[in-house]
Structure formats: structure tokens, C-alpha cells
Structure 1
Amino acid sequence: MPRPRKVLIAVEDTPYYHVVSRCVRRSFLCGVDSVTGENYQHRRAWIEQRIRLLASLFAIDICAYAIMSNHLHIVVKLQPQQATDWSSQDVLLRWTSIHKGTLLVQRYLKNSTLGAAELDTLHSCIDVYRQRLTSLSWFMKCLNEPIARQANKEDGCTGHFWEARFKSQALLTEEALLSCMAYVDLNPVRADMAKTPEESDYTSIKERISPSFDLAQAITEQTNQGNLQHFYYPLKPLMQFEGEQIDKTQLGILFSLSDYLELVDYTGRAIRPDKKGSIAEHLPLIMRRLNLNQLGWLTRATQFETRYTTLFSRRAHRDTA
């Protein structure tokens, strides 16, 4: 029986979540249609642009993402504390980047004079918008709905584009986070869409290795498509790797980027009979440094969705240690 979203997403338990959205009937609506031969690969760029722009507006950081031909993966870190530092003006500008806002909000942003009662209503709107800008559900709503409308418009049809609401998995341990990120970044390799991670288009690992995201182009295209009202913010970088733990507050991933790349490379070299692609066999020293059980790690990182339906729990971590 499906569980309420508020039960599945609880920042007090963990800020890290793995999110999956699949195209209706798992059709290749972002790839090559096997029946008509039509190529919809350009839609993967739409989704990548949308993810990166929304992350810069929401109090949500992106750890990893992979946009495939019939589904997408995102690993996020919820950062509600970021929103507490935003001014009222900042909240309104962020929200109206993707929504028009109420007439009262529009009047306020045009510097119109508001009465006391109107200001009270405005502050209530700001509180609602601030909360929404920290919500994973609203993030996915603002991602999926415009993409569906745009694709339907291109195809001259109506109906569902995504098969259901997004699925989410809580990542309660550092190992859960790293194995899920590796699983996501290796999706194109496993599907034999790319030979190596650095050749995997529309993935976070390619962005980390060779940054090529064009913010100006993304803003122009999303605005022309009617998916963006305005955008006044710099592009928020992907969640940073911070290496070894040090004696100060750390907001990034407690792992070095070079070690993560080695880890992904090692994991990708494991041959899976149920997948088309892999990387040549190699065993880096990173596994010994992390003191991880190699078989357990490979099982978790290559079969993440099937083994953990909604939760990668501390109990599962203990049982396989």
C-alpha cells in the first residue's frame, strides 16, 4: 500500500533522497521511438536545464542526476535552513521566476502601495512560498509538469507524460549516499548509451568532469518555452565534495571528488549479466581505504532500486557490513 509522501520524506531523519520519475509505460519519450523512429533526445536537455535552474531557486542541492531515454534519476540534499535566510523580496523573486504569483504579489513587486490588510495577506503568501521552496514535492512538480506540457505541445497531443508521481528513497548513511550516486552516474554506462562516465551525456558526473552547462542558453530556452518568467540568480553548483572531515562545519559530501571518480570507475567495471554495458575490470585502492565489503558494495551500487524500494536503512547497512 502506498505511503504518504510526508512519511517518506523527513529532513529530521536525513536530508538526502534519491528520486526517480519514469515516462508513461516506460516509453522512450526522451529517446528514439522504436515504432516511429522519431528522435526525442533533445528533451533530455530540457530536463537537465530545468533541474539545474530549479536547484538554483529552491533550497535543494543536487548531488547527482542522470537523464535517460525513458526516466530520470536525481539525488538531492534538502536544505530548508537556506530558506530561513532569504528576505521576503528574495522569496517572491524566486517563486515568481517559475510562477506568476498572485495579483497582490505582482503589485508588490511593481512597488505599488499596499494597505495593512493587503500586507498581512502578502506575508502569509510569502510564508507559503518559502515553505514550498524547501519542498521536494514542489521541486518535482515544477520540474515534471512543464516538461510534460512542452512535450505534449511538440507532439500535438494530450495526456500523461510521466507514469505516476515520482518515487523517493531516503538515504540514511554516507554509504547509502555514495552507492546511490554511483548507481545514478553509471546509468548510461549500464544501458550501453556511453562507454565511460565522462562520455555520459546529461549526467552529473560529466558536468563535474567537464563543466559545459550554459546558464544563459538555459534561461533563454526555458523562457522561450514559457517555463520561466525571469531568473536573477547565479547557477548553484552541484553539491561539493569536501574530502576528509575537518574540525569545522561542513556542508558538502564528506568524500573527495578524485576518490569518488575512482569509486564510480571501479563500480562500473563490474560486469552485470542483466545490463548491456560495463567498464573494463579494475580494482582501485579506494575500497580498502573505505573498509567496505566489495561484494556488498557492488550489490548495493548496481541494484539500488530493486533492493531498496523506498528506504536504504541503517538496519540494511548493519546487516551487510
Structure 2
Amino acid sequence: MPRANRHFIAGQVWHITQRCHQKEFLLRFQVDRRRWLYWLYQARRRYGLSVLNYIVTSNHIHLLVHDGGNNAIPAAMQLVSGRTAQEFNKRQGRTGAFWEDRYHATAVQTDQHLSRCMAYIDLNMVRAGEVSHPEEWSCSGYHETKHPRRRGSRIDMEGICRLLNFETPEQLMVARESWIDDQLCNGNLQREGMWTDSVAVGNLEYALWMKRALAYSNPGRRARPEKSGSFAVREQMSSYCTIGSTITA
């Protein structure tokens, strides 16, 4: 079976997705989702991981991170995914795989595509019909930024503001709430496969640049237009889609 993509280029923002083994709801209990969050916090502390957004659902996770060139992402994902699986199996007396293969990574251009990707992650559980507003799902970056933690913060607010050109976190939150409200009011909640099935998402110039930058590993990738007006770099056959095209609700 093909393996999910995870080719990293320094300086990019990456949308990482990973699903539980065989679509099982292994993260359905709050205690298990919070253990994943605990190890995400540890990954930020140990490796300097810049976390821009996240959500932990009952059977998969979304994680938006910025690669500052310190090669933190592979080590961080090994820690978070590995420890979450080990603890769950030990607590449940379970053996076998916890995750569905390895994680998938999609590069996201740091312009309006980044803000759209953040909103797409925020609205995941609304699309799934579990909540009516992102704030209602506590295991998410949106909830954390609305209710800042005195200790154990995972979100890199300074990093988000810098990438999206906001002067203060307060300005960022006002804009973020408007992105959410616009999509809720317009009923724009459909799944957009480009965020999880492709290798890179951005405008045409960015997509072509990423296609060339990643050509060494797979010259068969193509940059193609999406319905939203964006361009996505995809494989001839999306390996992650083959593994599980329903990672997001």
C-alpha cells in the first residue's frame, strides 16, 4: 500500500494530518485526546515546534506547523504520535497499530491560503456535525486561543501574527472570528480535499515553485487548479487519498 507524503522544505508552513488505524475512534474519549495535546506541548518545549493550529477529533488529528529550519517536525511527530499510541495501548491492554500508516504533510502558502487553512481546521467538527461552533470543541487551537492558558500553551501566537501580518493577537482573533462567521453564514462547510490530499496548496506561482522544489523525489507531480481558485500540487495518484480519503469530516 502506498505511504503518505511527508517531504519537508525549510521555511514552509505544513498542514499535517494523521488518522487512527482502520478508521477506529481511538481518540473518542477526552482523556485520550488530552494525552495527545500533552505530548504536543512537550514537542513544542523539547524541539521548538511552532504550532499555528490544531484539532484532535475522535479518529484523526490536524496540525498546522511552521518549519523554521530547525528540523523539528519529524522529531516532534515521532514523539507525539509514538507516546500517544504507547500510552493508549498500555492503558487499554491493547496491541497493534494505533495510527493509519504515517502522517501526511501539505505545504501551505503563507498568504490568504494560510488563513483559509486555519479556518478549515477550526470548522472540522462543525462539518462533522458534532458542534455548531468551533469554540465548543475544547481539543482545538481555536478553543485555546479563545481561552488562553497560563501554563502549557501550545499555540505560537507570535508566529501566527508574524506570518499573517497582524500586530497583536487581539487583531488576529477578530479576523479569525470573521473567517469563521463568514463560512458559517454562507454554509460553506464542504470538505476540500486539497488541504489533505495534496503536497502543496497556494497560488500558481507557489504551486509551480513547490513542484520544482520537490521534483527530486517524484517528477510526476502536477500543479492543477482547484474550484476555489487555488492551485494544488498532487501526485499522479494521491497516496494519502488511497490510504483514506475520509480523514476529514
TM-score, normalization: structure 1? 0.57
Summarize deviations over 1:44-88 as a string: whole Å, max 9, x none.
1111121122112223211110000000000001123xx6xxxxx
**Which runs of 5 or more residues in structure 2 are unaligned?**
208-224, 231-249
Summarize deviations over 1:25-47 as a string: whole Å, max 9, x none.
1110011xxxxxxxx33101111
Please tell me whether the aligned partners of residues 22 and 71 of structure 1 are also in contact (alpha carbons under 8 angstroms): yes
Query: 1:23 aligns to what?
Result: 20
Summarize deviations over 1:172-215 as a string: whole Å, max 9, x none.
24122111111111112111222212212100011111124753
Note the C-alpha offset of 1:154. 1.3
Q: Percent identity, aligned pairs only?
A: 23
Distance, in Å, in 2 between the alignment partners of 1:160 and 1:201 is 26
Query: 1:51 aligns to what?
Result: 40
Pair 1:157-2:115 in alignment: no
Please tell me whether the aligned partners of residues 59 and 78 of structure 1 are also in contact (alpha carbons under 8 angstroms): no
Gap change, CA 1:237 and 1:23, over 3 Å in 2: closer
Gap change, CA 1:315 and 1:145, over 3 Å in 2: same
Note the C-alpha offset of 1:21. 0.8
**Which runs of 5 or more residues in structure 1 are unaligned?**
32-39, 84-133, 216-234, 243-250, 273-277, 279-298
Paired positions, count: 203
Query: 2:66 aligns to what?
Result: 77
Query: 2:192 aligns to what?
Result: 303
Pair 1:198-2:129 in alignment: no
Task: State which structure, 1 or 2, has the greater radius of gyration over its C-alpha atoms.
Answer: 1
Note the C-alpha offset of 1:238. 2.5
Note the C-alpha offset of 1:268. 3.0
Note the C-alpha offset of 1:9. 1.1
Distance, in Å, in 1 between the alignment partners of 2:195 and 2:51 is 23
Please tell me whether the aligned partners of residues 59 and 79 of structure 1 are also in contact (alpha carbons under 8 angstroms): no
Root mean square deviation, CA, Å: 2.6
Query: 1:284 aligns to what?
Result: none
Question: In the alignment, residue 199 of structure 2 is paired with which amino acid?
Answer: T
Question: In the alignment, residue 181 of structure 1 is paired with which amino acid?
Answer: M
Aligned with residue 157 of structure 2, among 225, 229, 239: 239
Query: 1:41 aligns to what?
Result: 30
Distance, in Å, in 2 between the alignment partners of 1:74 and 1:176 is 15
Pair 1:266-2:182 in alignment: yes
Question: In the alignment, residue 203 of structure 2 is paired with which amino acid?
Answer: R
Alignment of 1:181-192 (within 5 A): 181-192=118-129
Question: In the alignment, residue 164 of structure 2 is paired with which amino acid?
Answer: I
Summarize deviations over 1:229-288 as a string: whole Å, max 9, x none.
xxxxxx56423353xxxxxxxx4432441112211221233436xxxxx6xxxxxxxxxx
- Identify, as 1 or 2, the structure richer in strand: 2
